[in-house]
Amino acid sequence: MQRALVLGGGGVTGVAWELGLLAGLVERGVPVTEADLVVGTSAGSLVGAQVCSGLPVERFYAEQLAPPSSELAARLGFATLARLIWAGGRTRDAVRSRARIGAMAVAARTQSEASRRVVIEARLPDREWPQRRLLITAVDASSGEFVVFDSDSGVSLVDAVGASCAVPGVWPPVTIGARRFVDGGMRSSVNADLAAGARRVLVLAPTSAAFGPMPRLSAQVDALRVAGSRVVVLTPDAAARTAIGRNVLDPARRAGAARAGRAQADVVADEVAAIWE
């Protein structure tokens, strides 16, 4: 496997920043959307499905610039973050930590699964799994098991993306068969280790936050490099962080985050091209 594109979580603004960065890199002649493997976690799962659809990334970037209209803003506020850290940070056992987070998510009062599914479905240009290798991460809310969905999993693309984006305490867990799933970012905000074996890896990480027993992005990247991969990790620069603001789930911040990502592509294009081509 030659090239892997790893897309991390980061809310509504993370989607926008990633699409802006990807559109800017493609415009500058760096074909990052042609990766052999795409790994998507949370917001990155949506971007990954869009990138693998075969449609130009410019289309999805343009959608980020549209006014949010009736789209509801959510908030991953201090209280929710505190509950996440309290639930998941009281043990060094990663699986037990995720199970506790899952229990918190199941007990939380959120909108219905059905209404949330409509939102996810509307953001996907194609409801079928792509031909290209796409991995989407999630966590079993009951057992804490880390799960990776792909085209062979027997799970619909809509449900896989919905599960990966199910932020505990904000959005409802997604029911698939007899199991319920929450955000893949509860294992790692990026899950870059799933790109193992790729010679060249580009990681977009709107956030690299970790707590409790979560594996750190830095450790995952170090392991990839030790195994022989050439890796570039991109995180929001100062201008992008300002555009994103404090609430990553606010649609009103989406356009600014997308433009900031595109502007950042000017700065990083040569660095990415050096490993990608």
Q: What is the pLDDT of residues 194-248, one digit of tens each?
A: 999 999 999 999 998 877 788 899 999 999 999 999 999 999 999 999 999 988 8
- Asked whether 192 and 227 are in contact (CB, 8 A), the reply is no
Q: What end-to-end distance do the CA atoms of the chain give, in Å?
A: 14
Length of the chain: 277
The strand pair at 3-7 and 200-204 is best described as parallel
C-alpha distances out from residue 41 to 59, 106, 162, 277, Å: 21, 20, 11, 25
Domain 3-72+110-276 CATH superfamily: Cytosolic phospholipase A2 catalytic domain (3.40.1090.10)
Query: Which residue out of 140, 159, 183, 250 is catalytically annotated?
Result: 183
**143 assigned to active site:** no
**Tens of pLDDT, residues 86-101:** 665 667 788 998 999 9
Whether 260 has a pLDDT exceeding 80, the answer reads yes
**Burial class of residue 151 in the structure, from the number of CB atoms within 10 Å of its CB (0-12 exposed, 13-18 middle, 19+ buried):** middle
Whether 250 has a pLDDT exceeding 60, the answer reads yes
Q: What confidence score (pLDDT) does residue 109 get? A: 86
The pTM is what? Answer: 0.93
> Of the ranges 64-78, 151-165, 217-231, which one carries the lowest mean pLDDT score?
64-78
The C-alpha atoms of residue 203 and residue 7 are separated, in whole angstroms, by 6
Exposure b/e, 84-114, CB count within 10 A at least 16 = b: beebbeeeeebbbbbbbbbebbeebebeebe
**153 assigned to active site:** no
**Tens of pLDDT, residues 111-128:** 899 999 999 999 999 889
The C-alpha atoms of residue 123 and residue 164 are separated, in whole angstroms, by 14
The strand pair at 230-234 and 37-40 is best described as unpaired
Confidence class for position 67, pLDDT limits 50, 70, 90: confident
Which residue ranges make up each domain of the chain? 3-72+110-276
> Of the ranges 79-83, 147-151, 242-246, which one carries the lowest mean pLDDT score?
79-83
Confidence class for position 8, pLDDT limits 50, 70, 90: very high
Ramachandran bin of 191, using left for φ above 0, alpha for ψ from -120 to 50, beta for the remaining angles: left
Of 176, 175, 216, nearest in space to 192 by CA:
216
The C-alpha atoms of residue 210 and residue 216 are separated, in whole angstroms, by 6
Confidence class for position 262, pLDDT limits 50, 70, 90: very high
Residue type, 13: T
Query: Which residue out of 42, 45, 189, 229 is catalytically annotated?
Result: 42
The C-alpha atoms of residue 108 and residue 111 are separated, in whole angstroms, by 10
Q: What confidence score (pLDDT) does residue 40 get? A: 98
Residue type, 60: F
